[in-house]
Copies of this chain bind each other. A is one copy, B any other.
Amino acid sequence: MSTDSELRERAARVIPGGMWGHLDASKLPEGYPQFFSRGEGGHVWDANGQRYVDLMCSWGPIVLGHHDPAVDAAARRQADLGDTLNGPAPVLVELAERLVDRIPAADWAMLQKNGTDATTACVTIARAATGRGTILMARGSYHGAAPWCTPVPTGTTEADKANQLRFEYNDVASLQAAADAAGGDLAAILVTAFKHDNVVDQEMPTPEFAAAARAICDRKGAALIVDDVRAGFRIHPGGTWETVGVRPDLSAWSKAIANGHTLAAVTGKDALREAASRVFVTGSFWFSSVAMAAAVATLDELERRDVVGHIASLGQRLRDGLAERARGANVGLRQSGPVAMPLFLFDGDADFAMGRAFCTATLAEGAFLHPRHNMFLCAAHTEADIDAVLAAAEAGFEAVKTLR
């Protein structure tokens, strides 16, 4: 078994910059591993054999825990039959029915492979339905890494982001102003399930904001698209905007939908069904069956075990425990967003020195946290895991105090 540093040396030779994308550990504080050897329940092991309580959950996909027995069994049963065939297996129908059954705003479903595939398909369907081009998007929201939505413009053109207008999340006046600017060309409002932008405090959507988005779309005949890729299945089993009583016309899902198997989905209302049947969206593996079988099992386990309730309870325990320890250390710690997807940022930490010091110290104590991105809880986490994180956090706060 190679060590993390040996693997990084080899990777530097055959991968540009040594790694790409959001899992590039060179962008994380000192001490973070790049390579991982295995996962089990709510824990991961890096390539050096170090074990961590894992509060990243693979950046969202792991919602039940690594090697969940029900999901593993369902995936294996389907794999024994076949995965990528000349068409879908019967499990596609089962999964689409399950999504329509569980998600109040879903009259139909389509499947993809990336969250970006799902958000892109939503935009395409909205444009097909309305015959219009303009999409409203919140400034700073992440909807994927395709040229039309990537936060890093390197290698993209101005045309890639044509037909987009911006508003501020949770700001009804700015949303209305953007809708006015779109005039008769408004195809859709595309909005993340809650505000989970990188490096800033999270915000749940306000009921007023959600209602305004719904009303604008209704008045203008545009589609309301909720991007539930990151939050889906962790905040509310039927979709995050159920918490504010607003139902989108189209929803994008991925990450947690199949407990780590590669899958994304679009669900929509009947009014969008005909347009959805006219667009051409596809991929070589969009009909692969193993991920679908995993998704059916994941959705069933989420319901059977009340995972939303479990991770909310653990998230509250974590939030309360961190707040208490921050007070004790006399450190200003801001915790924001839903407790099951925690984000913490330190007051007066513009250069992230405190966040880095905190996370390097907790990492050494066996807690895998992130200094500036929201984290994720899963069903396999226990109160003992949270308490272990809190114990590690005491070392983290000590490290922060030494910076002053």
Contacts and interface: CB of A to CB of B under 8 A. Distances in A.
Contacts of A99: 14
Copies per complex of this chain: 2
Contact of A162 (B16, B38, B159, B277): B159
A356 to B, nearest CB: 17
Contact of A85 (B36, B81, B114, B150): B36
A146 interface: yes
Contact of A86 (B56, B83, B283): B56
B163 A23 contact: no
Contact of A83 (B107, B260, B279): B260
A36 B88 CA distance: 6
A180 interface: no
Given A61-B285, A62-B84, A155-B125, A110 B34 contact: no
B156 A159 contact: no
Given A14-B108, A262-B285, A44 B159 contact: no
Interface residues of A, number: 111
B19 A284 contact: no
17 contacts: A14-B93, A14-B99, A15-B108, A20-B282, A23-B287, A34-B88, A36-B86, A37-B81, A38-B82, A58-B284, A59-B284, A60-B284, A61-B84, A83-B260, A154-B278, A157-B162, A229-B284
Interface of A: 1-2, 7, 10-11, 13-17, 19-23, 25, 33-40, 44, 47, 54, 56, 58-62, 66-67, 72, 79, 81-90, 92-93, 96-97, 99-100, 107-110, 113-117, 120, 123-128, 133, 144-148, 150-152, 154-157, 159-160, 162-163, 229, 254-255, 260-262, 268, 273-288, 291, 368
